[in-house]
A and B are shown apart, each in its own frame.
Chain A
Amino acid sequence: MRSAALVPLDAAAADEVVSLRGASFGYGDGPVLSDVDLSIRQGEIVAIVGPNGSGKSTLMKGLLGLNERVAGTVTLFGTDSADFHDRARLGYVPQRHTLSASVRATAEEIVATGRLPRIGWLGRLRATDRQIVARSLDVVGLADRAATEVSTLSGGQQRRVLIARALAGQPEVLIMDEPTAGVDAANQHVLADVLDRLVERDVTMVIVTHELGALERLLTRIVVVDGGRIRFDGTPAAYLAQRADVHHDHDSHHHDLELSHRASLAQGPLDATPNDRRRP
């Protein structure tokens, strides 16, 4: 099951987790997201932001190999994504409001499924695997809820169960889809604390979100996606500076849309005014 020996890499790309070159994703006629160049290195905490329908979820699914790539290349840990099979190295936290609504299951049972990609075809969870599952629940602050039926947990707690499930696979990068959506303010802070702990453990994170909210302080990089293209890619400081820059313009009413996360809440893809990328 483990991938073959890694192709020797040049030093520059050795810590590259994900790399996209001229990648386009979509369904045959007209890609949803086109011509993306993006490289994420180990230890980065990247937010991919943009209004609903901007193409950010398509970008994330593209990284995970869940949708169709129509052009370009996607390289995962130095291996072309078509030849990459050790998918457990990517930890996926989907956007899910409810967990296992059809049958009862405990938080522990859900988190244990995250361990499966690490234990061969017919393997069972052994004592060490159980410990990793328990520790994953502990990291997200749900150790005392391991035996609780998941549908009785709050929305924020369910979200953390999904994070724990991804952690149980001991991934090298966590890819999260809207972790804060539908989570109240108090629980957003609990969530941010959980992510803080992961940052301390040097977990690389890609967070797809339409609002930065409580997560802003964790980030090392912000990528703005809008209208099917990457509009901004830089540090939070540069992001803030540019947002301020745009605010200085008097005709900023439309220009600040793409950079202001607050404004994006009310934005649909049709509202976005495609304007030039502003470089200071």
Chain B
Amino acid sequence: MIDLLSVDFMQRALIAALLVGTVAPMVGIFLVQRRLSLIGDGMGHVALAGVAIGLVSGTAPVLTALVAAVIAAVVIELLRARGRTNGDVALAVIFYGGIAGGVVIISKSSSGTPANLMKYLFGSILTTQRTDLYVFAGLALLISVTTWALRPRLFAVANDEEYARAVGLPVLPLNIVLAALTATTVVVAMRVVGLLLISALMIVPNAASQLVANSFSGGLGWAIAFGLVSSVGGVALSYPLDTPSGGTIVLLAVALFVVTAVVTGVMARVGGRRHDVAETHPHEHGAECGHPAVTHGDHVDYVHDGHLHAAHEGHYDEHGVHHDGVPEPAGTTPGLTSATPGPTTGPTSGPTTGARP
């Protein structure tokens, strides 16, 4: 590892990997939520045209790629907002026009060798320049701050666009901001992951995180963790293995996804065998159901005919027999319970609590 860090380009590549591994899943979760998982791929195609223009004209390819991708992002979002009919086809025209234009223009540049093209398409640890790194750090900061600031609103719009419109949230501006964030992420990830594989780093860590998370914020945290492990791990592995960094990163992300799927699958099976479901009853336990609520470890149980019922998914779990004041089941913290629905009703009581009619 020390050996690895002492190599100059490796240091730069690892820093770039840290940046990419953080921001790509952060933006990606909203794309997954909006069911637009593949849009980042299309923006990568268009960014290639930007890179080509930069190489031919002698401008920094990062800048031209950023301009091309952001313009494409805004146009795509406007097209999506305008109509239902041929928006899909319009996207295809933009995406394939972008990559075809990129390949043709790059062949006219003096540095347009196939090897050079491969670096942009699939990533290489050798290509990150020192000046690039400052630009990437700046852009990554911009992406994370914007995403953090707008997170509740981006979530609301992606969750239910019609509702967001009905209550007056600025739906189109938020969607355009998300598209621009996606385009910027594409450019930040261009060097290490490559334009054809960027989308994977936005989506695959999220696919894995959705298997373990139980909330949106949890899902975001897990996705960033998976993203960081894949990007930093992939870059570190690509040096000794002498493989393209982009491919290595994505394979690692996919491997993480598969391992997570297997582990959660096995755990669900073991857990499913262990839990007892209570008999079904038409009413729902709550503040007004008439059954005393008792604290049981970290949650509330309801005493139903002497049995403890705990809400779990769409049903109630059987949490053992309730003895006055002292619940029996294993793993219970003693001394927390009482049969009187006084202070123990805790979270279920509220202004609506009253006599049952």
B215 adjacent to A66 (CB under 8 Å) = no
Structural contact, A87 and B167, CB atoms closer than 8 A: yes
Q: Determine whether A202 belongs to the interface, using a CB cutoff of 8 Å to chain B.
A: no
Q: Which residues of A contact B314 (CB under 8 A)?
A: 152-154, 157
Smallest CB–CB gap between A135 and chain B, Å? 6
B159 proximal to A (CB < 8 A):
yes
Cβ of A73 within 8 Å of any chain B Cβ, yes or no, is no
Binds A, one of B11-19, B259-267, B278-286, B324-332: B278-286
B33 at the binding interface (Cβ < 8 Å):
yes
A145 near B311 with CB under 8 A, answer yes
Assess the B168–A86 pair: CB atoms within 8 A.
yes
Interface flag for B91 (CB, 8 Å): no
Q: Does B160 contact A (CB under 8 A)?
A: yes
Say yes or no: A92 contacts B214, CB within 8 Å.
no
Indicate if the CB atoms of B215 and A147 lie closer than 8 Å: yes
- Is A144 within 8 A of B169, CB to CB? no
B152:A148 contact, CB within 8 angstroms: no
Is B287 an interface position by the 8 A CB rule?
A: yes
Assembled-state Cα–Cα distance A157/B165 (Å): 24
Tell yes or no: A112 within 8 A of B by CB. yes
From A86, A88, A106, A144, B348 is in contact (CB under 8 Å) with A144
Q: Please measure, in the bound complex, the distance between the C-alpha atom of A149 and the C-alpha atom of B213, giving whole angstroms.
A: 9
Type the 1/0 row for B166-192, where 1 means its CB is closer than 8 Å to any CB of A.
Answer: 111100000000000000000000000
Tell me, in angstroms, the Cα distance from A110 to B216 when the chains sit together.
9
Is A94 within 8 A of B160, CB to CB?
yes
* B283-297 interface with A by 8 A CB criterion: 283-288
| B269 contacts partner chain A, Cβ-Cβ < 8 Å | no
Q: Are A106 and B215 in contact (CB under 8 A)?
A: yes
Choose one: A117, A146, A185, A187; the contact of B167 (CB below 8 Å). Answer: A117
A102 and B217: CB pair below 8 A?
A: no
Q: How many residues of B contact A (CB 8 A)?
A: 47
A126 contacts the other chain (CB 8 A): no
Determine if B215 and A88 form an interchain contact, defined as CB atoms under 8 angstroms apart: no
Query: How far is it, in angstroms, between the C-alpha of A169 and the C-alpha of B163 when the chains are bound?
Result: 12
A26 to chain B: closest CB distance in Å? 17
Q: A90-B166, A94-B160, A122-B149 are in contact. Are A113 and B216 (CB under 8 A)?
A: no
Contact A109 B217 (CB under 8 A): yes
With an 8 A cutoff between CB atoms, is A192 at the interface?
A: no
**In the complex, which residues of chain B have a beta carbon less than 8 angstroms from the beta carbon of A135?**
350-351
List B residues 33-73 near A (Cβ within 8 Å).
33-35
In the complex, chain B residues whose CB is within 8 Å of the CB of A109: 155, 215-217
CA distance in complex: A99, B33 (Å): 11
Q: Per-position contact with B for A173-190: 1 when CB-CB < 8 Å, else 0?
A: 000000000000111001
Complex contact A117–B351 (CB within 8 A):
no
Contact yes or no, B347 A143, CB < 8 A = yes
CB interface residues, B 313-357, toward A, < 8 Å? 313-314, 347-348, 350-352
Do the beta carbons of B165 and A66 come within 8 Å of each other?
yes
Say whether A104 contacts B162, CB under 8 Å: no
Q: Are B210 and A104 in contact (CB under 8 A)?
A: yes
**A102 contacts B152, C-beta separation under 8 Å:** no
Residues in B whose Cβ lies below 8 Å from that of A85: 168
In the complex, which of the residues A92, A104, A112, A149 contacts B166, with contact meaning CB atoms closer than 8 Å? A92
From known contacts A64-B166, A186-B283, infer whether A143 and B348 are also in contact, taking CB-CB under 8 Å: yes
Residue of B nearest to A139 (CB): B352
> From A151, which residue of chain B is reached at the shortest CB distance?
B313
Q: What's the nearest-Cβ distance from chain B to residue A28, in Å?
A: 14
Per-residue CB proximity of A105-145 to B under 8 Å, as 1/0? 11001101110110000101100000000010011010111
Residues B283 and A103 in contact, CB atoms below 8 Å apart: no
Residues on A with beta carbons closer than 8 Å to the beta carbon of B213: 104
Residue contacts A-B, CB under 8 angstroms, 25 given: A66-B162, A86-B168, A92-B163, A96-B160, A102-B34, A103-B33, A104-B215, A104-B216, A105-B159, A105-B215, A109-B216, A116-B153, A117-B167, A117-B169, A122-B150, A135-B350, A138-B352, A139-B350, A143-B286, A149-B215, A152-B314, A154-B314, A169-B167, A190-B284, A197-B352
* A binding-site residues for B, Cβ under 8 Å: 64-66, 85-88, 90, 92, 94, 96, 99-100, 102-106, 109-110, 112-114, 116-117, 122, 124-125, 135, 138-139, 141, 143-149, 152-154, 157, 165, 169, 185-187, 190, 193, 197
Shortest 3 CB-CB contacts between residues of A and residues of B: A87-B168, A113-B156, A186-B282
Q: A135-B351, A139-B352, A144-B347 are in contact. List 12 more A-B contacts (CB 8 A).
A: A64-B166, A103-B29, A105-B155, A106-B215, A113-B160, A114-B167, A138-B352, A141-B286, A144-B285, A154-B314, A186-B282, A190-B284
